[in-house]
C-alpha cells in the first residue's frame, strides 16, 4: 500500500514539473509571433509587387516592402 502511494505521489510530481516546463515555453514565443506577422505582411506585399510588369518599379516596390518589414521587426524588439 505504501509503495503505491509513493508511486502516485512521484508520478504527480513529475506531471507538475513537466507542466511547468511546458507552460514556460510559450512566454518566449511572443516576439516570434510579432516577427511572423511582419513576415506575413512582407510576403503579401511582395506578391503584389510581382504583378507589376515594369522591372524598375517592381524592384522599388520590393525594396519598400523590405524596408517596411525591417521597421516592423524593429518595433517587435
- What are the extents of the domains in the chain? 2-76
**pTM of the predicted structure, to 2 decimals:** 0.59
Q: What mean pLDDT do residues 2-27 have?
A: 57
Q: Please count the CA atoms within 13 angstroms of the CA of 6 that sit on its side-chain side.
A: 3
Select the more confidently predicted residue: 13 or 3.
3
Cβ atoms within 10 Å, residue 19: 10
Confidence of residue 77 (pLDDT cuts 50, 70, 90): confident
- At 16-73, the pLDDT tens digits run 555 555 555 555 566 699 999 999 999 999 999 999 999 999 999 999 999 999 999 9
Amino acid at each position: 500500500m505504501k509503495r503505491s502511494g509513493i508511486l502516485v505521489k512521484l508520478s504527480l510530481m513529475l506531471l507538475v514539473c513537466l507542466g511547468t516546463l511546458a507552460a514556460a515555453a510559450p512566454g518566449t514565443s511572443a516576439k516570434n509571433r510579432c516577427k511572423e506577422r511582419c513576415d506575413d505582411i512582407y510576403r503579401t506585399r511582395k506578391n503584389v509587387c510581382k504583378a507589376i510588369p515594369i522591372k524598375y518599379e517592381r524592384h522599388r516596390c520590393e525594396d519598400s516592402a523590405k524596408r517596411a518589414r525591417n521597421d516592423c521587426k524593429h518595433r517587435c524588439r
